[in-house]
A and B are shown apart, each in its own frame.
Chain A
């Protein structure tokens, strides 16, 4: 039994040791392989991460280029800077839109240097993929979808390969491409859905500068004409189409043109028309005036002439100072002129298109002049019974004078009406005709032009093809009021379709664009105000919950405008400077918007479901859109300090293709996300 015991035992022990040794060897080798593998991967990761930084730089430069509003960079796909040309051209479709899915390799000497040192090779690729469109395929609230507004995923992939390990370092982030122009409201300098409590004619007007108490709001809708400048029909149409427009909804607006103390800088544009004389028996009552003609035959009396003139309203029209010429219309009607100078001032006329039931009223003063005796008499406004029964008339006409005049009109009030002073009311847009050069002295010298009185060939030239009201095109001298409106841009692309402007409150097309939500305005400022320069860098659309109170001045960085959607109220107590005239809009989605700053606010202000409060003195360089507007009445006796101006920022105009193309902004998530595969 004991013979041969040691050999098997030794063999068994050695076998066990061999097995153990082999196992240990295998495990150790595996450990070493693993360690090398992970060490190589780590090494590869750092090389890959370094290369990804090169891709980040290229994509950030590309983004900066896309967000640059400089007109010289448009169209973007044709004006790529040399260093971005190779990459950028891969991301654009031939029409200039960004591709839905594309990838391209990036070569770089730095990458080559890095991989040369590390003995890894890297394939660096930049990719873009459209994740989804911001809007659906259908028109919502009258606003058609914009297929350029989308969410994109940008990726930078560094594919690192080497002997030991290969891996991919991927950096990615979302870009949201939005347009910061307002497709409906952007076209309007002033958009008010209803008069509300606004006193339309609230400026106490007078001839005496010392009595100046309030100044009308001068609206400049983009470009001004010279005070006496006239344009051909085509040029005037071009001018109108390039301006910001005005929409005044709700009940009819009758604006009494302002005399503005006779000062051109306060007076409504296209208001006055100087004295025009014409012989008795001529004009609208040609062949009549037999009594005056008969009197003229008497050499001691001399010849009579009719005179007429157009003016805005001022209180003296009802006093003896102006022969009580319109006193019977009531002091209030005559003494107060319009709070809004829709066409700018006589000094800087800025004619534009006014939508809504809006009329302009002006005073037509008429009377008689006798050159021999120097008698200059106005024929006052009279009601029929006053004409027929009153022995004396306002302005001091004696019974004998009254008798002669009545005799001249055959005691017919209807005849007198043609020659008496009165208030004329017409569609507001007919005022544009004062800037129309008809290339014919006979037409140009006419005392007053009416839209329907123009030759049909001229009327055809005034037709606005881009605007339809209840599916009909209108002339720009027409009163443009209807149920639903549609507007095309200058390339005949639909901007909005059949929108009832009066009930227009649906801003879901703006809310869809919003890329971020902030709980407070402070939180927003912390993220978007550069701590060094202090400039506001928005560059897209964001939402702020709650209210916004701007108490410190804001300066908007060039190319970094956008839309600030605020769920609550907005109060602006400090100036907003916009040196690049960027489209910058503050929208109160459901509240009021109150401007307290008298210094310039260079922004577009929207409160479609609330009231826009304006101080007694303001300068807004942008646009205004609200349900109603309330304007503080100036108090005290320093009205000269209360100039009020609304100046349209032409870069807000969405009908300009160049504007729209330059208003696409790309908002990106802060920082990049990294993953390793």
Chain B
């Protein structure tokens, strides 16, 4: 009887503990992937800033690995995305009120949540002068 009570109590208590551990693992994984995505996106934008913006072509939702010329990863000097991540670039030339051309950059880093399998993304937007 005592053993049965103990198992019951342990079961009742173990369930939330399991949930705690499980959720923690998911959150840890999400945080890790988010930080990784931030690094992947940020380094890409930083490399893009080093390129003369007027040489950057307009692209729409293009995977980074599919780009050529100045946008080729080797030209940008950055490694490909780690496995499980993608970078999708959109650039558009826009003109300011003073007549200067800019490159409006939208970069979306995508990955799948390793636990849930749901797609995730981390967007970055900026303007680069001289497009």
Contact = CB atoms under 8 A, between A and B. Distances in A.
Do A and B belong to a common assembly? yes
Given A10-B6, A43-B125, 9 more contacts: A7-B6, A14-B9, A22-B20, A24-B20, A39-B35, A43-B122, A47-B126, A50-B105, A57-B96
Contact of A53 (B17, B125, B128): B128
B124 A46 contact: yes
Contacts of A231: none
Contact of B3 (A6, A11, A109, A114): A6
B73 interface: no
A35 B123 CA distance: 14
Contacts of A84: 98
B96 A54 contact: yes
Given A25-B23, A31-B31, A50 B6 contact: no
Interface in B1-26: 2-3, 5-6, 9-10, 13-14, 16-17, 20-21, 23-25
Nearest to B28: A28
Interface stretch (B37-45, B63-71, B80-88, B111-119): B37-45
B20 A43 contact: no
B30 interface: yes
A341 to B, nearest CB: 51
B31 A34 contact: yes
A22 B97 CA distance: 55
B31 A32 contact: yes
Nearest to A46: B126
B24 A28 contact: yes
A117 B20 contact: no
B100 A25 contact: no
A31 B129 CA distance: 35
Given A32-B27, A110-B127, A61 B106 contact: no
B125 A50 contact: yes
Contacts of B127: 50-51, 53-54, 110, 114
Interface of A: 4, 6-7, 10-11, 14, 17-18, 21-22, 24-25, 27-29, 31-32, 34-36, 38-39, 42-43, 46-47, 49-51, 53-54, 56-58, 61, 83-84, 108-110, 113-114, 117-118
Secondary structure of the B contact surface, majority rule: helix
A53 B129 contact: yes
A24 B31 CA distance: 14
A538 B21 CA distance: 67
B56 interface: no
16 contacts: A4-B2, A7-B9, A22-B20, A25-B24, A29-B27, A36-B31, A38-B35, A43-B123, A49-B126, A50-B125, A50-B128, A53-B127, A54-B102, A57-B98, A58-B98, A83-B98
Nearest to B34: A35
Interface residues of B, number: 45
Contacts of A51: 127
Contacts of B32: 35
A80 to B, nearest CB: 13
Interface of B: 2-3, 5-6, 9-10, 13-14, 16-17, 20-21, 23-25, 27-28, 30-32, 34-35, 37-38, 41-42, 45, 94, 96-100, 102, 104-106, 122-129
A113 to B, nearest CB: 7
Contacts of A58: 98
A61 B100 CA distance: 10
Contacts of A22: 20
A25 B19 CA distance: 9
- Kindly name the residue among B13, B17, B37, B129 whose own CB sees the greatest number of chain A CB atoms within 10 A: B17
A81 B3 CA distance: 89
A4 to B, nearest CB: 7
A482 to B, nearest CB: 54
A10 B21 CA distance: 18
A17 B10 CA distance: 11
The 9 residue pairs across chains A and B that have the minimum distance between CB atoms:
A50-B127, A21-B20, A28-B24, A35-B31, A50-B126, A28-B27, A46-B126, A118-B125, A31-B31
Nearest to B23: A25
Given A43-B123, A53-B127, A109 B97 contact: yes
B35 A108 contact: no
Contacts of B96: 54, 57, 108-110
Contacts of B102: 53-54, 110
A17 B20 CA distance: 10
A43 B41 CA distance: 9
B10 A21 contact: no
A114 B100 contact: no
